[in-house]
C-alpha cells in the first residue's frame, strides 16, 4: 500500500518589507496509513507552517513550493481551491493550539459542528444534529444535547478543546493535524485529551501528525518523530530511538531540558543561546552558534543527511565522513 502522505522538498517563505523569511527549507517526509508522526522543535522552527502549507492554508505574503505534496497519490498543489476546500475537513483536519481562536464566540457549538457536517457530508439539519451530538459524546462531553446549544465562552478550556476535536473528526478525516492541542490546558486535562486522541485514532484509524515543542508530551502518542530546527529536519527516527538514542546535539538539548521525576536536579538544563533571526540565519549549520560540539566545518557548510541505522537519519557533521570522526 502506498504512503498516505508524501511531502518532498517543501519550501515555504514569506516575502516581507525586511526581506524573504525562509520558514520551511526543503523538508521531505512520508506518513503511512494509521501512523502517528510527531514534529518537534522550539517555537519558530517551522512545525506549524509546514503543516499549514500541506493544507494550502498559507496566505499572501507566504509562498509555497514543493516537488510533491501528495495525499493518497493525488498531487494537492495542482488542485483548484474549490476542490481543496472539499479535502480540508473531509480528508484532512486541523486542531489548533487555542480553541477560542478557532471557535466563533457568537455561534453555538452545535451550529459550528453542523455547518462542517452539512458542508462535507451532505446531511440535512436533523441528521447533522444527530451526528453532531454523537461526536460530542464520542469525545467525552457530558450533556451533549445541552452543550450543543451553548456558546464557546461558556465552556471550560478542556471542553472547548474537546469540541474542537469533535469538529475535526466529524467527517472522519484520513489525517488529523494536532498543533500543540494541550498547551493551554492543565496537566490533568492534558492527559485526558491525549488519551482521548489515542482512543479515537484506534477507533477510526485516522493518521495523526502531532506538532509539539515537548518530546515528553508526545512520547506516548506517536510512532515516529522528526525534529525540526530553523525550518529543516535535523533528525528523524522512531520515537523509542529518539528518546533512548538521540544523535543530534539539538535533540539531546530538547530531551535534557525536560523536567524528570526520576532524576534529582537542582535546576533545569536549558539549551544555550536562542533561535536565530530567520532573516539572519548563521552560515553553515544553523545550530552551530549554540552547539557545544561545533567544529570548523560546521561554521561554513550545511551538513547533509546521514543514515545512522535503518529509519534513523541525522543532519550533523559529527556523523558525516566529510566532517571527520563518525560517532555512534
The CA distances from residue 245 to 150, 255, 314, in Å, are 48, 11, 12
Write the pLDDT tens digit of every residue in 70-103: 999 999 999 999 999 889 988 999 988 776 778 8
Q: How far apart are CA 77 and CA 269, in angstroms?
A: 42
First to last CA, the chain: 33
In DSSP terms, 26 is beta-bridged to none
pLDDT at 137 over 80: yes
pLDDT for 287 equals 96
Q: How far apart are CA 247 and CA 233, in angstroms?
A: 13
> Could you state, in order of their start, the residue ranges of all structural domains in the chain?
5-91+173-323, 105-172
Q: How far apart are CA 247 and CA 236, in angstroms?
A: 10
Write the pLDDT tens digit of every residue in 245-255: 999 999 999 98
User: Which region, left, alpha or beta, applies to residue 143 given φ > 0 means left and ψ of -120 to 50 means alpha?
Assistant: left
Write the pLDDT tens digit of every residue in 249-304: 999 999 887 766 666 666 677 888 888 988 889 999 999 999 999 999 999 999 99
Homologous superfamily assigned to 5-91+173-323 = P-loop containing nucleotide triphosphate hydrolases (3.40.50.300)
Main-chain phi, psi angles of 99, to 5 degrees: -60, -30
CA 132, 133, 136 angle in degrees (round to 5)? Answer: 90
Which grid coordinates are listed for 195?
488519551
Q: How many CB atoms lie within 10 A of CB 261?
A: 5
3-7, 44-48, 112-116, 189-193: least confident range: 189-193
User: Which region, left, alpha or beta, applies to residue 209 given φ > 0 means left and ψ of -120 to 50 means alpha?
Assistant: beta
Give 306's pLDDT tier (boundaries 50, 70, 90).
Answer: very high
Main-chain phi, psi angles of 138, to 5 degrees: -60, -35
Q: What is the tally of helices (H) and strands (E) in the chain? A: 10, 13
What single string gives the DSSP state of each residue in 225-256?
A: EEEEETTEEEEEEEHHHHHHS--SHHHHHHHH
Q: How far apart are CA 125 and CA 152, in angstroms?
A: 21
Amino acid at each position: 500500500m502506498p504512503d498516505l502522505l508524501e511531502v518532498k522538498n517543501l519550501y515555504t517563505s514569506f516575502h516581507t518589507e525586511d526581506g524573504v523569511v525562509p520558514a520551511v527549507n526543503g523538508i521531505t517526509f512520508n506518513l503511512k496509513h494509521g501512523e502517528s508522526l510527531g514534529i518537534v522543535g522550539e517555537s519558530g522552527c517551522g512545525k506549524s507552517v509546514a503543516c499549514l502549507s500541506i493544507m494550502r492554508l498559507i496566505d499572501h505574503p507566504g509562498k509555497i513550493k514543493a516537488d510533491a505534496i501528495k495525499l493518497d497519490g493525488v498531487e494537492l498543489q495542482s488542485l483548484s481551491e474549490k476542490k481543496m476546500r472539499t479535502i480540508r475537513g473531509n480528508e484532512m483536519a486541523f486542531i489548533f493550539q487555542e480553541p477560542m481562536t478557532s471557535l466563533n464566540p457568537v455561534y453555538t457549538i452545535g451550529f459550528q459542528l453542523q455547518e462542517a457536517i452539512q458542508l462535507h457530508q451532505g446531511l440535512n439539519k436533523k441528521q447533522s444534529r444527530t451526528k453532531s451530538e454523537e461526536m460530542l459524546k464520542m469525545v467525552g462531553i457530558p450533556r451533549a444535547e445541552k452543550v450543543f446549544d451553548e456558546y464557546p465562552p461558556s465552556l471550560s478550556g478542556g471542553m472547548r478543546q474537546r469540541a474542537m476535536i469533535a469538529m475535526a473528526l466529524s467527517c472522519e478525516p484520513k489525517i488529523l493535524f494536532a498543533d500543540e492541542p494541550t498547551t493551554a490546558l492543565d496537566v490533568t486535562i492534558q492527559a485526558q485529551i491525549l488519551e482521548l486522541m489515542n482512543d479515537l485514532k484506534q477507533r477510526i484509524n485516522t493518521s495523526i501528525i502531532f506538532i509539539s515543542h515537548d518530546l515528553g508530551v508526545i512520547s506516548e502518542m506517536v510512532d515516529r518523530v522528526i525534529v525540526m530546527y530553523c525550518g529543516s529536519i535535523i533528525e528523524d527516527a522512531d520515537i523509542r530511538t529518539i528518546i533512548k538514542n538521540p544523535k543530534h546535539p539539538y535533540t539531546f538539548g530538547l530531551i535534557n531540558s525536560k523536567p524528570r521525576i526520576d532524576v534529582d536536579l537542582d535546576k533545569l538544563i536549558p539549551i544555550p543561546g536562542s533561535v536565530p533571526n530567520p532573516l539572519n540565519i548563521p552560515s553553515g549549520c544553523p545550530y552551530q552558534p549554540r552547539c557545544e560540539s561545533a567544529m570548523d566545518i560546521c561554521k561554513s557548510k550545511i551538513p547533509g543527511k546521514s543514515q545512522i541505522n535503518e529509519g534513523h537519519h541525522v543532519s550533523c557533521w559529527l556523523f558525516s565522513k566529510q566532517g571527520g570522526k563518525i560517532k555512534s
